Amino acid sequence: MNLDSFPWLSSLIVLPMAAAALCLLLRHHPRVSRWIALVTTLAILVTAVGLFVTGGGQGGWLRYEDHPWIIPFGIRYTLGLDGISLLLVLLTALTQLLAIVISWRRKYQVAIFFSMLLFMEGGIMGVFLALDLFLFYLFWEVMLIPMFFLIGVWGHERRVYAAVKFFIFTMAGSLLMLLAIIALYLLHGQQTGEYTFALAALQQTDIPGAIEPWLYAAFLLAFVVKVPLVPLHTWLPDAHTEAPTAGSLDLAGLLLKTGLYGLIRIAFPLFPEMAQASFPLLAVLALTGIFYAAWIAYAQHDLKRLIAYSSVAHVGFMVLGFCAWDAIAMEGSVLQMFNHGITTGALFIMAGMIQHRAETRDLGQLGGLWGRVPILSFFFLFFSLASLGLPGLNNFAGEILILLGVFRVNPLWGALALGGVVFAAAYMLRAVQGVIWGPPGPMKHAECWVDLEPREMLVLVPLALLVLWLGLYPEPFLAPIREPVQRLLGGTSLLALKGGMP
């Protein structure tokens, strides 16, 4: 069998969805469902690592699949993997494996819980790989529904409120994008006689000036809601706070990245002139988000809400890097998308571990953990330092590239963003002070606490090693994204070379 002709990209989508369906069929067998989820996500991670090892640093599409699907409507099953999507596929595979491991002891509706995680993995993989806008929208909706149920069914006290708020915000953005996709489809068909959802073909559409801002705004709103960019961020802290740990991990590690990915894969290439015109506004919103979210994060008493607001600040840096439209800044933003998934995901996992032991996330109730659980405290300190951008750790590598690129384009933006780094240090050090240092809080059953278990170490050690690798030697992760970034900045997307064409 020729391994090069094997549909590896399709396997990343079909395998988790088939496993999710199997878990539902075996919903009365939770133990079997756990192992199905673990083996499936492990197989997907091995596949993603294989693609990274064999495909990194090459030009063009590293993998590509194209088949006719719903022919009368010009809908095709088109998938493509370049260096940018490669990093996000790798991040998705790793994150979902960790989500399964940290949820191993879950007892309520186990099979359905794991099926939701697997369905979401298939949907997110599809978003990062689809080159047909109908297919992209389909996967966009598929990943939304499992997260709604994860928050609403397995979340904390205010889970229903948080789930409904998450659904309304993201669904409103999705419907705007659907309207814009249909309008582009009809417009392209009227101009060429060829009705298609292929991204490459739609990129060539001559859009009248009167409607171009509206179509761009629809795509932009759909993606910045998911980012989320201030002032459309209010659903995120509630969703993070009420979601189970695996849900928070997926929200921070993956769903936020789908919005950022949509900006650079869909919105900016389809409307390059409108994108250029909107960069100053987006930069102002990104800078506002950096400072506003940092201020709010510093004032939080709930550890998960503090980390959630830190996510809003971090994505502000990534959006600012996109707005600079500079190669170094863009590479830094894409690398930071991966870094943020590692460090913030690790902090949410640790918040779950701390809550499991202390039965609270209130910083006023915590404190003094270093004396009780030193290994857990060490990892919390390590990931906190990575999150605030300590040199030698992963976030520093991404942020320094963003800042260098932004300074080259607009020194004022760069100087303001640099101030945001100081704010990040303030709220992360407050979290460290509140959790592991200071006087011990009145926590329940503190005398019976155990330090990290082997299963927890199995989750945190690989993440810590990745943080060090990305901080000390990020080149293997930068090399695959260099050429796609250059093509994006040059206005000659890979789509124009191959892919997505009926």
CB atoms within 10 A of CB 57: 14
Instruction: Find the mean pLDDT for residues 101-119.
Output: 89
- C-alpha distances in angstroms, 493 versus 45, 58, 63, 220, 425? 28, 16, 16, 19, 37
Strands (E) located in 324-380: none
Give 368: exposed, middle or buried? Use CB within 10 Å, 0-12, 13-18, 19+. middle
Q: Estimate the share of the chain in helix, then strand, then coil, as percent rounded to the nearest 5.
A: 75, 5, 20
Q: So what's the pLDDT on residue 499?
A: 38
- What are the structure tokens assigned to 434, written together? 């509140």
Q: What is the pLDDT of residues 34-67, one digit of tens each?
A: 999 999 999 999 999 999 988 744 456 888 899 9
DSSP strand pairing (75-81 vs 63-70): antiparallel
Residue 284 contacts residue 342 (beta carbons within 8 Å): no
In angstroms, how far is CA 129 from the centroid of its own chain?
14
Q: So what's the pLDDT on residue 287?
A: 93
- Label residue 122 by pLDDT band (50, 70, 90): very high
Q: So what's the pLDDT on residue 501?
A: 39
Q: So what's the pLDDT on residue 57?
A: 47
Q: Which of 322, 339, 263, 319 is nearest to 90 (CA)?
A: 339
Q: What is the pLDDT of residues 160-205, one digit of tens each?
A: 888 898 888 888 888 999 999 999 999 999 998 889 999 989 988 8
Calculate the average pLDDT of the chain: 88
Lowest mean pLDDT among 58-62, 95-99, 322-326, 429-433: 58-62
Q: What is the pLDDT of residues 223-255, one digit of tens each?
A: 999 888 888 888 888 888 888 888 888 888 888
Residue 470 contacts residue 397 (beta carbons within 8 Å): yes
Whether residue 94 has pLDDT greater than 60: yes
Whether residue 153 has pLDDT greater than 50: yes
CB atoms within 10 A of CB 463: 22
Cα–Cα distance for residue pair 325/220, rounded to 1 Å: 16
Q: What is the pLDDT of residues 459-485, one digit of tens each?
A: 999 999 999 999 999 999 999 998 889
Please list the alpha-helical segments (H only) found in 439-501. Answer: 454-472, 475-490, 494-497
Instruction: Find the mean pLDDT for residues 266-289.
Output: 92
- Label residue 1 by pLDDT band (50, 70, 90): low
Whether residue 497 has pLDDT greater than 80: no
Q: What is the pLDDT of residues 300-324, one digit of tens each?
A: 888 888 998 888 889 999 999 999 9
CB atoms within 10 A of CB 128: 28
Instruction: Find the mean pLDDT for residues 393-421.
Output: 90
Cα–Cα distance for residue pair 248/151, rounded to 1 Å: 9
Residue 268 contacts residue 202 (beta carbons within 8 Å): no
Residue 82 contacts residue 61 (beta carbons within 8 Å): yes
Q: So what's the pLDDT on residue 9?
A: 94
Query: Which DSSP category does 109 fall into?
Result: S
Q: So what's the pLDDT on residue 493?
A: 47
Whether residue 366 has pLDDT greater than 90: no
β-partners of residue 64 are 80
Helices 394-409 and 411-435 cross at an angle (nearest 10°) of 160
Q: So what's the pLDDT on residue 495?
A: 46
Instruction: Find the mean pLDDT for residues 423-430.
Output: 85
Residue with tokens 């606490």: 449
Helices 327-358 and 394-409 cross at an angle (nearest 10°) of 140
Whether residue 502 has pLDDT greater than 50: no
- Label residue 445 by pLDDT band (50, 70, 90): low
Whether residue 496 has pLDDT greater than 80: no
Q: Which of 59, 46, 52 is nearest to 11 (CA)?
A: 46
Q: So what's the pLDDT on residue 428?
A: 86
CB atoms within 10 A of CB 38: 16
Helices 394-409 and 303-324 cross at an angle (nearest 10°) of 40
Q: So what's the pLDDT on residue 101?
A: 92
Whether residue 362 has pLDDT greater than 90: no
Q: So what's the pLDDT on residue 419?
A: 85
- Label residue 363 by pLDDT band (50, 70, 90): confident
Q: What is the pLDDT of residues 11-30, one digit of tens each?
A: 999 999 999 999 999 888 88
- What are the structure tokens assigned to 489, written together? 């900045």
Q: So what's the pLDDT on residue 317?
A: 92
- Helix (H), strand (E) at residue 34: helix 30-55
Whether residue 281 has pLDDT greater than 90: yes
